[in-house]
Chain A
């Protein structure tokens, strides 16, 4: 397992980045929800928000944003809540999983199988 620089990250920075907010809203995003910017950064915007808006000009998953920002997934989700609430991003949530965490239907799984076979 590659241990990134996050290991050395003190909790202070994470607290500052999120303004001390906790995890209340993070369930709004899955790790593989795809984020798309809907506007450009504006002056005075928090630097993490600026970075997210720039990197999501093409769709990018929550977990990729987390890796590029070198912030834990849950912290990134809190940052994304701000941007979603102000309409600066849209979120494309995974729609394969059915309620209750059951497997997707056979149509979806067949598509996955065929696509992998054709790689």
Chain B
């Protein structure tokens, strides 16, 4: 709507010097708190948009999935954080559902990394996303959103998700800015460590 156009209420324009857009993706099942996390750290009111893919699209993992459809549409939310004079970090909240992954290469190639947001009561919602991130070689951490009192330890969650020991896990409350910020810091620290230990050079997005 026109009320959301730049210059309207709630819109913070970027610096004139902004020149380098970066991407981080927050992946998780429905209702797990992706939008809440984007909202709590974004400098703009979260926006949403869509991408479509026709059957003739490129980069489909398995064309048989879309045989019955001419167009796949995926909606996603996003926010942004100006990091310095040049760098602007865009945070995307993305659904973990199957059709979303057809668009991964188009939308999220070159992404720095991902946060997999999990809800302990619905861990199975995360399996597919974890599998696809590994497939795409995207570095990720796992954040457990504690909207309610957790019933399991993080180690139990790690075991249930069959996560490799090097993948960082963190607890968070996506409603709280400091907590969501700590998740992003944990991911950035992990990415930095990957870049300095030599193995990250093999990572492909």
B165 within 8 A of partner (CB): no
CA distance A95 to B20 in the complex (A): 6
Q: Mark B6-18, 1 if CB is under 8 A from A, else 0.
A: 1100000111101
**In the assembled complex, A45 has its CB within 8 A of some CB on chain B:** no
Q: How far is the CA of A30 from the CA of B196 in the complex (A)?
A: 26
What is the CA–CA distance of A115 and B41 in the complex, to the nearest angstrom?
Answer: 13
Complex CA gap A23/B41 in Å reads 33
- Contact residues in A for B93 (Cβ distance below 8 Å): 1
Using A97-B110, A97-B205, A103-B203 as known contacts, say yes or no to A34 and B19 having CB atoms under 8 A apart: yes
Number of A-B contacts (CB under 8 A): 179
Q: Shortest beta-carbon distance, B28 to chain A, in Å?
A: 11
Q: Whole-angstrom distance from the CB of B34 to the nearest CB of chain A? A: 8
User: Residue-by-residue, is A77-104 near B (CB-CB < 8 Å gives 1, otherwise 0)?
Assistant: 0000000000000001011110011111
CB-contact partner of A6 in B14, B49, B189, under 8 A: B49
Mostly helix, strand, loop or mixed at chain B's interface?
Answer: mixed
Answer yes or no: B21 CB below 8 A from chain A CBs. Answer: yes
Contact status of A103 and B112, CB under 8 A, knowing A4-B75, A32-B23, A109-B195: yes
How many angstroms from the CA of A51 to the CA of B1 in the assembled complex?
12
In the assembled complex, the CB of B42 is this many whole angstroms from the nearest CB of chain A, namely 11
A103 contacts B75, C-beta separation under 8 Å: no
Check A17 for interface membership: any CB of B closer than 8 A: no
Smallest beta-carbon distance B8→chain A, Å:
9
Q: Once the chains are docked, how many angstroms separate the CA of A58 from the CA of B189?
A: 31
- B192 with A31: CB separation less than 8 A: no
Asked whether B6 lies within 8 Å of A30 as measured between CB atoms, the reply is: no
Interface residues of B toward A: which range? Answer: 35 or more
- Known contacts: A2-B75, A109-B195. The answer to whether A101 contacts B52 by CB under 8 A is no
A64 within 8 A of B: yes
B117 to chain A: closest CB distance in Å? 13
Cα–Cα distance between A75 and B52 once the two chains are bound (Å): 9
Residue positions of B touching A, CB distance < 8 A? 4-7, 13-16, 18-23, 30, 35, 41, 47-52, 57, 71, 73, 75-78, 80-81, 83-84, 87-90, 93, 95, 106-110, 112-113, 137, 139, 181, 184-185, 188-189, 191-192, 194-196, 200-205
* Sampled A-B contacts (21; CB under 8 Å): A1-B35, A1-B76, A6-B50, A6-B75, A7-B75, A31-B90, A34-B14, A59-B19, A63-B78, A74-B106, A92-B20, A101-B137, A101-B204, A102-B200, A103-B112, A103-B113, A111-B87, A113-B185, A116-B81, A119-B41, A119-B81
